Structure 1
Amino acid sequence: MRPLKLIPSLLALSVLAACAANTPMASLSPGAPASAPLPVANHDWFFDRDRQELTLAYGIANSDDLKLQLVCQSGSGALELAAVFDRPSRVLLLESGGDTERYPARSEPAGIHEGQYVTANAKTKDPVFQRFRSLGWIALWEGENREPLVAHPASQPNIERFFAACG
């Protein structure tokens, strides 16, 4: 008769397993590991060098549609981060492959279009950027919304070029 006593426990475990398996991506907390996201059509990472200033920006080519921009001076190891949010934010939260970083941020009206221009400072050696460098994607959090910014295969070398030059 012992096997009958296990049935309620097994049923409870199977219900818990089913719930865990169906957790939507939006409900994952920052830092929770997730499978690699896929690139988005027409959006990519673009690298630019103007003398000593290097820029790596995610958005649509030849437009002012910018999601995240990283700027550094060659060899400095220091990053200036900029994103466009709907509302002001005091934190710029980034995640890549389970590593997360929260950067104190400043907000001001975007000017060109609606929204807020949110800026922060970081270092190229921060774990989230090292993970981004190896995986080719980083997620930008705005409140509870997580937006993966994924490089297309042809642009992944630009990420490495940027970080190698920044130091």
Structure 2
Amino acid sequence: MRALFVILTASGLLGACAAVDALPEPAGPASAVAASYVPRPGYDWFLHADSGAMTLVYGLRDSDDVGLSLDCEAGSARIEASRFTPANSASSLLLESGGVSARVAASTSRTDLDDATVVMGTFNAREAVFDTFAELGWIRAESDRDLPSPALIAHPESKANIARFIRACRDG
């Protein structure tokens, strides 16, 4: 009975992952594709700034439920991206928005939190994917060892913080 439960659970999880891992191919302008995305209730992009250190986090406000964290020092032109993954290791991290993507080498660190792994990679803040992210208000991330994340979609009122974060990382 336990084996049947495990098989059914695994099948359900794989089916659920297959339902969210593919983003629609852009059929027209990227903004038209973005219009089909709906922000997840309670989840959003939150900007934190402290003495030149900037953090843009997607998740639930004031919680450890985080889908992606982006960090930079103002004017550094570097963005450190990190996300939790069930994979034990990863050698690259990809960010994609509106069909525009960037991939960098990644490092990993095990956490005590549910035996998860944090995947981290440093991106050039001038990568086109960040321009598209600021315009559309969504991005997705994946490592080479796990399934792609669903799109992490901003609520309309938080889109300005995405642009503010990217400008600060680039120009200070």
Tell me which interval the TM-score lies in, with the shorter structure as reference length: 0.7 to 0.9
Q: How far apart, in 1, do the equivalents of 2:141 and 2:61 lie?
A: 19
CA distance in 1, matches of 2:121, 2:149: 18
Decide which structure has the larger Cα Rg and report it.
Answer: 1
* 1:74-133 deviation line (CA, Å, top 9, x unaligned): 111111111111112211111100011111111111233331111000011101111101
CA contact (8 A) 2:98 2:136 kept: yes
1:160 corresponds to 2:153:
no
Shift of 1:141: 2.6
Match of 1:151 among 140, 147, 154: 154
Q: Which amino acid aligns with 1:59?
A: G
How big is the shift at 1:28?
A: 5.8
Which residue of structure 2 lines up, in the alignment, with residue 126 of structure 1?
127
Question: Any idea what SS the aligned residue of 1:163 has?
Answer: helix
Matches within 5 A, 1:32-43: 32-33=25-26, 35-36=33-34, 37-43=37-43
1:94 & 1:117 partners in 2: Cα distance?
15
Classify 1:98/1:151 alpha carbon distance in 2 versus 1 (closer, same or farther; 3 Å): same
Contact 1:84 1:110 in 2 (8 A): no
Contact 1:54 1:71 in 2 (8 A): yes
Q: Is the 8 A contact 1:90 1:105 kept in 2?
A: yes
Q: Give the gaps of 5 or more residues in structure 1.
A: 1-23
Partner residue in 2 for 1:16: none
Q: Partner amino acid for 1:150?
A: I
SS at match of 1:111: coil
Helix, strand or coil at the partner of 2:106: strand
Alignment-derived partner of residue 90 in structure 2: 89
1:152/1:105 CA distance change after superposition, 3 Å? same
Question: Within the alignment, does 1:68 sit opposite 2:61 as a pair?
Answer: no
TM-score by length of 2: 0.75
| Corresponding letter in the other structure for 1:154 | E
Cα distance in 1, alignment partners of residues 139 and 132 from structure 2? 8
Contact 1:137 1:151 in 2 (8 A): yes
Query: Which is further off, 138-147 or 127-136?
Result: 138-147
Alpha-carbon distance between aligned partners in 1 of 2:138 and 2:110, rounded to the nearest angstrom: 27
How far apart in 2 are the matches of 1:49 and 1:107? 25
How many residue pairs align between the two structures?
142
